[in-house]
Amino acid sequence: MPTVTTDDGAEIFYRDYGSTGTPVLLSHGWPLNSDAWEATARFLAEHGHRAIAHDRRGHGRSSQTWDGNEMDTYADDLACLIEALDLRELTLVGHSTGGGEVLHYLARHGSARIAGLVLVAAVPPLMLHADDNPEGLPIDVFDGLRAGEAADRSELYRNLADGPFFGHNRRGDVSQGLRDAFWLQGMACGHRAAYECIAAFSATDFRPDLEKVDVPTLVIHGDDDQIVPFEVGGQRSAAMVDGAVLSVYEGSGHALPDTDRERLNAELLAFIDS
């Protein structure tokens, strides 16, 4: 399996689609892995781009480390991958937790190699309610996820797949296959990594990161997102980045790479080619 080795010895698995064209890096959500992006990666490669998708540490086929399950290390792991593959003029695309990861990389490591940023149903600016973040969600929401992860994570992932992640509780039209794939990817994530990542995606304050963005930015969000509500995530992120374009998917939920795949892929391609 293709991997890169981080400074602390973790092995980060990645998939590399296509060998020519400008590169695109696709970062996945919690508790998934690079499989979540495989359809989009294939689409982009078939349209002349090199698409790279990795498994975040603790997830999928990457090392399930005890430590490092937080945003600083995720961003540094991403830097190792980008530098090892010598990616330049790179478009960063992050879904959900992956949106936080690619944004934090940009703020932490700079934009010298980066051509553009796309946040898809992403967790920035800050999901957790605080005195200076009244739009955020109460900590009870995330404590509930932690309790489910600790008690019976298999059932937690099943309930997320059948309910709010895909919006199946409202749409009723999400295939059993997609829901099963979510469960399978979740169960491939390390137990400690999955537990600790809940704090990483919910309590990391990305507002300072958004202020550092200096590349063209596209923010895509569904206005019926039950995981990262539009008013908590995309609407606010787009307002914080000078010149960012906000694309709202009316009636759509969180799992846009699956439920709105054709529209999302076309919009990504247009942005990358622009």
Q: E strand or H helix at 262, and its extent? A: helix 261-273
| 173 in catalytic set | no
Question: Kindly report the CA angle at 181 between 171 and 227, in degrees rounded to 5?
Answer: 50
How many Å separate Cα 114 from the centre of its chain? 17
Distance CA 126, CA 201 (A): 8
Distance CA 52, CA 92 (A): 10
* Cα separation values, 119 from 157, 233, 236, 254, Å: 23, 10, 12, 12
Distance CA 142, CA 231 (A): 18
Identified catalytic residue from 96, 202, 237, 252: 96
- Cα end-to-end distance, the chain, whole Å: 33
| 202 in catalytic set | no
Tokens standing for residue 19? 């060998």
| 254 in catalytic set | yes
Identified catalytic residue from 63, 209, 254, 260: 254
Instruction: Please check whether residue 207 is in contact with residue 240, taking contact to mean a CB–CB distance below 8 angstroms.
Output: yes
Identified catalytic residue from 55, 77, 209, 225: 225
- DSSP lists the bridge partners of residue 27 as 94
Catalytic residue set: 96, 225, 254
